Amino acid sequence: MNDASDPTKLTFRRFENGKTLWQWDDLTTKIFQADRSYKCPTYVHRTPPCQGSCPSGHDIRGWLAIARGMDKPPVAGTPWQKYAFDRMVEANPFPSVMGRVCPAPCEDGCNRNEVDDFVGINAVEQYVGDWAIENRVALPAAPALTGKRVAVVGGGPAGLAAAHFLRRKGHAVTIFEAHDMLGGMMRFGIPGYRTPREKLDAEIDRIVGQDGVEVRCGVRVGRDVGIDDLERDFDAIFWGIGAQRGRPLPVPGADAENCITGVEFLDHFNRGWVFSTARRIVVVGGGDTSIDVASVARRLGHVTRSGAHDFATNEEIGHTASDVAGALKREGVNAVLTSLFPVEKMTAAEREREDAVREGIEILGGVMPLDVVKDANGLAVALKVCKCTMKGMTPIPVEGTESEIPCDMIISAIGQMADLAEGLERLDSGRGAIAIDPVYQVRKMPNHFAGGDAIRPHLLTTAIGHGRIAAETITDFLDGVLGERRPKVDVDQFNLLAELHERRLDPAPYDHRQDRGTDRKPFAVHNYEDRGASQIIPHTALFKGHFGYVARSRREERHVQSDEVLGDFGERIVALTEAQARKEGERCMSCGLCFECDNCVIYCPQTAVQRVPKKERAVGRYVETDYKKCVGCHICMDVCPTGYIQMGLGE
């Protein structure tokens, strides 16, 4: 924790000034029993909060350890970036895209916030993802096919992630996509200046380029292919169809022709069908989608003069709306964004809100839509609103605050739902979504599984996490061992045995002889306990006094001012350099896992804690304890920065 008057002055203390050891009951007990305690160090792996906060379950601590140079590639000559990329795609095959657009709940959960500032996780992810694309790094080789075939319906983040992980499990996959291109909301719901299409295409091509992955675009399941056909031809089906229908405004007059949804607007824009917007638009929302809608509208502007030659013909391929941004006579668009919540409590990321205001978008917080005002032709000409307060998720209107916002178009960005018409009615839970059980199996449909926005609209990285988990449960189903629930901490866990195997340090086979103690037995991983699937390590378990102030390496951003936004579709984020990425890796506190600082070795008064011989070291196996020397004084635990050492009984 820092002194607010001087951000470089650390004020963390394990013990407060003026307190004596005798006033701390637990420490008093430790001191009096120090020479006869039966407790000795146990190395306990727990999940770090960054990973626990990540909806895709990224092993963030793992690839930051690679960036810092602690975890070195087991194959000599392998670039650290490739090693980090291989670790990333064990949970998320879209590091370049997600490093740009994910709102980074991992950074909110980062324990380093208690020291100075969070680790720039997204920035490192983007750097590694871009490096892998630039260096044409392929996915790790997929295993031989098992003979099982899985249909994946939907080529968005959930479906593509499911296809990726199912193929890693050895299954053949066929992706059915209603659009003519893959990508889902990553392509059709987010503008290209946030997800550069060449990056998105590269990460998709890796997945679908694998042997055993087939793609059928332009095929809508339910209309072109029936559910019965999938059940006949495939061993299991994964539904990742997303939430393609936007929710209209729940107010009178919202059926006007010029009242549309944000999903509809962004889909048409990203397909290249929208070349301009109305002169005055009102966007109702408050989340990232509403920011995207208003920002796109400001960039497109309003066409005041055009000729037939300005527009693309149907024969043109690869055309997007941004390609003609400068070809037409345009004027700026007046964009107003309203939110039920106050501006500071909007769900849109703070950075996105700040960019929106900078680009000339007016944001009105604490505003509730009441009615769409129409003209004689039935078109919306204004949105009637009032001020409101929020009681939980329910807006409470403030009487006497009614007003009208004049407009030529109203765009509703207040939520989405799955499109379960045209032959998909069996999947509808009655609330515009697919209902699943705890193992992602569709209720009352045994060989069907689902994930992503089709079950609950959320983040892109959430959909990716659903695809990863569903691939595991589908594999369990195909193997006949499907359980009833998932782990409490359902992430891509660090696996010490896999780490040892990768470095050819596997324990010897168990000799099945009963014996007392395992500290010298080659079949045992001595004094190690894995609680990663059940516990997330809090900052209170760390010795934060070990960490000095280190400023975060921030990605630079290209800020666009309001008078320059028209026609500007260039990317805003500037990636980190390699040196900056490595520095961020060094800032990681490796919560819940040893990062080889030597504190326990240095401070042990009995020299009971020693380094593992160099040829036997691996991540998580850097030190060991000689229980014959240990007196249980707890000093090693007290000075462990990462909280990896816990005192317990053992021998």
pLDDT of residue 84 exceeding 80, the answer is yes
pLDDT in tens, 178-223: 999 999 999 999 999 899 999 999 999 999 999 999 999 999 999 9
pLDDT in tens, 437-473: 999 999 999 999 999 999 999 999 999 999 999 999 9
pLDDT for the residue 313:
34
Q: Comparing 123-132, 415-424, 614-623, 642-651, which segment has the lowest mean pLDDT?
A: 642-651
pLDDT of residue 249 exceeding 50, the answer is yes
pLDDT for the residue 20:
53
pLDDT for the residue 525:
83
pLDDT of residue 30 exceeding 90, the answer is no
The token pair that represents 413 in the structure block: 């960005």
Residue 307 pLDDT class (50, 70, 90 cuts): very low
pLDDT for the residue 25:
55
Question: 619: which residues sit within 8 A by CB, 6+ positions away?
Answer: 62, 65, 70, 71, 494, 496, 499, 593, 594
The token pair that represents 320 in the structure block: 């997007």
pLDDT for the residue 534:
95
What is the average per-residue pLDDT within 69-80?
94
pLDDT in tens, 485-524: 999 999 999 999 999 999 999 999 988 887 776 767 888 8
Q: Considering the entire predicted model, what is its pTM?
A: 0.88
pLDDT for the residue 568:
79
d(CA 438, CA 391): 31
What domains lie within the chain, and their CATH numbers?
149-244+418-479 (3.50.50.60), 247-308+320-411 (3.50.50.60)
pLDDT of residue 331 exceeding 80, the answer is no
Mean pLDDT of the chain: 88
pLDDT of residue 26 exceeding 50, the answer is yes
pLDDT of residue 565 exceeding 90, the answer is no
Farthest CA pair distance, the chain: 91
The token pair that represents 350 in the structure block: 């703070």
d(CA 82, CA 139): 10
Per-position b or e across 160-169, b if 16+ CB within 10 A of its CB = bbbbbbbbbb
pLDDT of residue 584 exceeding 90, the answer is yes
pLDDT for the residue 18:
58
